[in-house]
């Protein structure tokens, strides 16, 4: 209040009489010959930003999880159909093809996610070697 009564105007980040960190603004109003001081606790000022950041992180995590679940639910029928078609093709062509999964594990915050890639081995028919990809 002393600075305001001296005619100064400023904004300070300081500690109040109770030991709380505050943002304080003061000025002098010459028309009423009075000093005006306003203060706000920095915790009150930071709280909405922290809540928004927390909600954003939680929302991103939920969307990440739901996206992974959607991909898994979409890809599982496609992989089983591919395996069924490969079996049908093997039985019709009488060519031996072996599908073997190569799994890569990714560790993340939620646990581990496995990604499988199917590789085929080469086969030979009539002396010619071919590789299926």
At 84-108, the pLDDT tens digits run 888 887 777 765 555 566 555 555 5
Share of the chain above pLDDT 70, in %: 69
DSSP-derived 3-state class of residue 91: helix
Q: Which domain holds residue 40?
A: 2-44
Burial grade of 67 (CB within 10 A; 0-12, 13-18, 19 or more): exposed
CA distances for 114 relative to 48, 63, 69, 98, angstroms: 38, 19, 13, 21
Per the structure block, which two tokens stand in for 20?
């709380």
What pLDDT, on the 0 to 100 scale, is given for residue 33?
86
Q: Is residue 21 part of a domain?
A: yes
Task: Give 104's contacts (C-beta < 8 A, 6+ positions apart).
Answer: 114, 115, 117
Q: Is residue 81 part of a domain?
A: no
Task: Taking the CA atoms of 82, 88, 91 and 93 in sequence, report the sign of the dihedral they define.
Answer: negative
Res. 32: pLDDT tops 60: yes
Q: Is residue 67 part of a domain?
A: no
Number of domains in the chain: 1
Q: Is residue 34 part of a domain?
A: yes
The answer to whether the predicted template modeling score (pTM) of the entire model surpasses 0.85 is no
Contact indicator for 101, 117 with CB cutoff of 8 Å: yes
Q: Is residue 30 part of a domain?
A: yes
């Amino acid at each position: 209040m002393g600075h305001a009564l001296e005619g100064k105007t400023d904004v300070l980040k300081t500690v109040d009489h109770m030991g709380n960190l505050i943002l304080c603004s003061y000025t002098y109003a010459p028309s009423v010959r009075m000093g005006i001081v306003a203060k706000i606790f920095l915790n009150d000022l930071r709280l909405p930003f922290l809540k928004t950041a927390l909600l954003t992180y939680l929302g991103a995590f939920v969307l990440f999880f739901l996206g992974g679940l959607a991909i898994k639910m979409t890809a599982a029928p496609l992989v089983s159909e591919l395996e069924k078609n490969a079996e049908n093709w093997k039985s019709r062509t009488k060519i031996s093809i072996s599908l073997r999964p190569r799994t890569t594990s990714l560790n993340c915050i939620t646990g581990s996610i496995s990604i499988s890639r199917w590789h085929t081995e080469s086969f030979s028919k009539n002396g010619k070697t071919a590789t299926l990809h």
